[in-house]
Amino acid sequence: MLILGETGAGKEVVARALHDLSNRRNGPFVAINAGALAESVVESELFGHEQGAFTGAQKRRIGKFEFANGGTLFLDEIESMSLDVQVKLLRMLQERVVERLGGNQLIPLDIRVIAATKEDLRQAADQGRFRADLYYRLNVAPLRIPALRERGEDALLLFQHFAEAARSRHGLSERNLQPGQRAALLRHPWPGNVRELQNAAERFALGLELDLDLQSNAPAPAEYDSSQAGLNAQVEAFERSLISAELSRSHSSLRSLAEALGVPRKTLHDKLRKHGLSFADSGGSSPDSLD
């Protein structure tokens, strides 16, 4: 299986979820960042080695593939692997056996391998930087993780989740986002994806400013793409997203919702009707009431 997505988009989280929801959940989940492994030790880390296999190999070492037997091995940044290591990985995937460095015994494996990349492996294969046969072996069930800037209001939900987790961890009082802050979160392009958002939520929970760089040249969320609609349509879509995001929070009345958004109740009532939104969906009273 191959997971595709930008750095920080949550590829390992998805891989772990796939493991936890599978019949391998009781087996080990082993995560490896191939880009962080030095070329001199990558084969030993993955395949293991026997005593005396090379200088410094004073005892047998079990590799990550063997250690993950019965479970799932998550291999991130697979594009950084050398072509020589790719050959051995392909053999392991095809034959389901591993041979330690310096050994002759073929050790059978029962593992699920989930690879992840931030690059276009098909293009890398065409350029000779990645083995085409390994690409096709991994690409049986590709799964693309969208960048955070493509997820719309998910950014607000994730921010609130991380902020609440940080608040509980540090024993802090609850701090609510203001309408302007929610707008900033929705407009921010999040070049660091979920990892960047989690850091921002941690700072917010600690009482610090969001300090988002809104001057980034990264593309804006799709619903605000100027190539898709004119200015008026973009403004309308942005307004609707802000109201919808606030509706997802708990409010006891239209009054509290209007106060959170900083608009008169009559104005909010009209905007709910215009955008086809219902205050009743949030657990409050009907939008027909101004109370």
Domain boundaries along the sequence of the chain: 2-145, 149-249
Closest by Cα among 137, 48, 49 to 87: 137
Q: Go through the chain and tell me how many residues it has.
A: 291
Res 229: pLDDT: 45
Relative to beta strand 61-62, strand 48-49 is antiparallel
Record the pTM: 0.68
* Angle, helix 193-205 to helix 154-170, in steps of 10 degrees: 50
Q: CB neighbours of 28 closer than 8 A, spacing ≥ 6?
A: 67, 68, 69, 70, 71, 72
pLDDT digits (tens, 9 = 90+) for 124-142: 999 999 999 999 999 988 9
Res 71: pLDDT: 97
Q: Where are the alpha helices (DSSP H) in 151-192?
A: 154-170, 179-187
Specify whether domain 2-145 bears CATH 3.30.470.10: no
C-alpha–C-alpha distance, residues 218 and 234, integer Å = 17
- Tokens standing for residue 43: 């084969």
Res 115: pLDDT: 96
SS3 state of residue 235: helix
Residues lower than pLDDT 70 in the chain: 213-234, 248-252, 279-291
End-to-end CA distance of the chain: 53
